[in-house]
Amino acid sequence: MFRFTKRMHEQAGLPPGTTVHIGERKVEKVRISLFDYAAGHLEERVIDKVEECYPYRDKPTVTWINVDGLHDVEIIEKLGECFGIHPIVREDIANTGLRPKLHDYGDYLFIILKMLYFEKGRHEVTVEQVSLVVGKNFVISFQEDGEDVFDAVRARIRSGAGRIRKSPTDYLAYALIDAIVDGYFIVCERVGEEVELVQERLLGSPDPESLHTIQSLRGELIDLRRSVWPLREVVASLERGESPLIHKETAIFMRHVYDHTIEIIETIESFRDLVAGMIDIYLSSISVRLNEVMKVLTIIATIFIPLTFIVGIYGMNFHAMWPHLGWRYGFAAVMGVCAAVAVAMLVNFRRRSWL
């Protein structure tokens, strides 16, 4: 979560509305793809020069421009100017350290979301920022990387199945948000498996390692929360249909995404509850073990320390001892006393149920 902060401060001191890329550069070259469609029409293009997008501004059909890679600030600037996007929005698009939010600029909605996924072979959740600008007849999406979470949406547009081709831009926005939120379930499941694993290990044989795992799980859940909680507000205000850009029919679908978001939030909160409980388990299991260690020491010591004293008595070099050292059964008698003491101790421990 320090990442959030670090990225932010790079911009500190710059005048507002200055578009500066803040974040890692995840792709070599910015890739732009364009879909233009209507009920009976479909055009799909890969854009080389950003200027090729300009003519689509005034077409009544739905235009979806997807930009992969944010480091080429000029592209954002040019698209922004063409589609009338406020400079402060452009600044936010290029800054990958922001929290999910929805701002209504009248002519268009500006939405920031966090896309979560596990990269192949990596153990940690990757968080990527996605910005959507939703206008009357266009949707522009900005991604850090060209991950294929939107491929299902592309397939649906191409096939013309479902409502997507017959619906305005708000439905496309819904489809994109839905695709992102669906990804959260997979992350939640993976985290849930990790939580279950740690819990089992803890109840079995807890070691200092476990604590580190718990602490890192906690950190991961804090990160997840920071991505999902604000998302809830975003989707809720989309669902309420406050903007005229969101039609009533789409609001029903948005409500569905909202339900999913709540579902995810509840799951995360349950995980947090469980992880909080784990520390109690860990602490008490350490105490239980200490108790066991101490019992072993106490049993051995309380049995043998008095015995050592007894045999020590007859190791004294006094000439006159009682019983006389020459007594034939002296050795047997002392050994008998020792045995009796040991048995008495053992009975005592058994009564305390230490054995």
Residue 108 C-beta: closest distance to its own copies, Å: 13
In whole angstroms, how far apart are CA 61 and each of 41, 245, 260? 9, 15, 30
Residue 347 C-beta: closest distance to its own copies, Å: 14
- Which residue in 183, 145, 174, 159 sits closest to 35, CA to CA? 159
Q: Which residues contact 184 (CB under 8 A, 6 or more apart)?
A: 116, 228, 260, 264
**Which of 43, 197 has the CB closer to its own copies?**
197
**Which of 39, 290 has the CB closer to its own copies?**
290
**Which of 241, 330 has the CB closer to its own copies?**
330
Residue 49 C-beta: closest distance to its own copies, Å: 28
Q: Rounded to the nearest 5°, which phi and psi values hold at 111?
A: -125, 130
Determine what percent of the chain falls in helix, strand and coil, rounding each to the nearest 5: 60, 15, 25
Number of H helices, E strands in the chain: 8, 7
**Which of 82, 88 has the CB closer to its own copies?**
88
Residue 311 C-beta: closest distance to its own copies, Å: 4
- Which residue in 247, 53, 227 sits closest to 140, CA to CA? 53
**Which of 119, 207 has the CB closer to its own copies?**
207
In whole angstroms, how far apart are CA 355 and each of 204, 287, 295, 303, 349? 22, 18, 9, 13, 6
Residue 33 C-beta: closest distance to its own copies, Å: 20
In whole angstroms, how far apart are CA 257 and each of 138, 167, 269, 287? 21, 17, 18, 46
**Which of 59, 247 has the CB closer to its own copies?**
247
Residue 203 C-beta: closest distance to its own copies, Å: 6
